[in-house]
Amino acid sequence: MEGQGFRDRAPEFKDLGAEVIGVSFDRPEDNRGFAEKNGFPSRLLSDVDRTVGALYETRRADEEKYPEFAKRRTYVIDPEGIIRKAYRVKDIPAHPGQVLDDLRGLLGSSA
């Protein structure tokens, strides 16, 4: 599961000054239980009306497979709110490392 990879590398994100936030279409109480069950240290936000999903291109069309689930997307957003990197996640286990590497590159850090 993608969230577990980010959870397991949370200290590395924190060391870079990055905040990881997850968003799903589930209700807040479902997200809370899911986050607690999996030990997620990051916030998991609910987008039940899928407004954010539409803006960030994670919402699936009704005719697509699994329209109730968001597409796997990750965005690196700087403190000014500018998207610096956008991903269409394909390799779930490798993805957190890829994001960390890209963050280090954007920050000019070898941390």
Asked whether residue 111 is domain-assigned, the answer is no
Please report which confidence band the pLDDT of residue 100 belongs to, taking 50, 70 and 90 as the band edges.
very high
Asked whether residue 109 is domain-assigned, the answer is no
Residue 54 region, left (φ>0) first, then alpha (ψ -120 to 50), else beta?
alpha
Note the pTM of the prediction, 2 decimals.
0.86
pLDDT of residue 108: 87
Asked whether residue 89 is domain-assigned, the answer is yes
Domain count, the chain: 1
Q: Is the pLDDT assigned to residue 79 strictly greater than 70?
A: yes
Tell me if 42 sits within 8 A of 6, measured CB to CB: yes
CATH number at residue 45: 3.40.30.10
Amino acid in position 75: Y
20-70 pLDDT per residue, tens: 999 999 999 999 999 999 999 999 999 999 999 999 999 999 999 998 889
pLDDT of residue 109: 65
Asked whether residue 108 is domain-assigned, the answer is no
Asked whether residue 99 is domain-assigned, the answer is yes
Residue 67: domain span: 2-103
Asked whether residue 39 is domain-assigned, the answer is yes
- For 93, residues 6+ apart whose C-beta sits below 8 A from its C-beta are 5
